[in-house]
Amino acid sequence: MVRLSRTIRFCINPSERHPTDTPRNGFGGKPPMQGLGRYYEITIEAAGEPDPQTGYLVNIKVLDQAVRNGLIPLIERACRSHPDKNPVELMPELLAAISGELREASAQALTLRLTPYHSIQMTASNPTTALIRQQFDFAAAHRLHVPELSAEENLAIFGHCNNPAGHGHNYRFEPCVAVSLNTGKPDFTLGKLEQLAHEVILSRFDHKHLNHDTEEFGPSGVIPSVENIAKVFFDLMAPAVRDASSGKAELHAMTVWETDRTSCTYPADNPTTNSQ
Query: Which residues are marked as active site?
Result: 161, 207, 258
Nearest C-alpha neighbor of 110 from the set 27, 45, 55, 29: 45
Backbone Cα Rg of the chain: 22
* DSSP symbol at 114: E
Nearest C-alpha neighbor of 247 from the set 180, 196, 199, 195: 180
What is the C-alpha separation between 145 and 99, in angstroms, rounded? 51
Q: Which residues pair with 113 in a beta bridge?
A: 41, 119
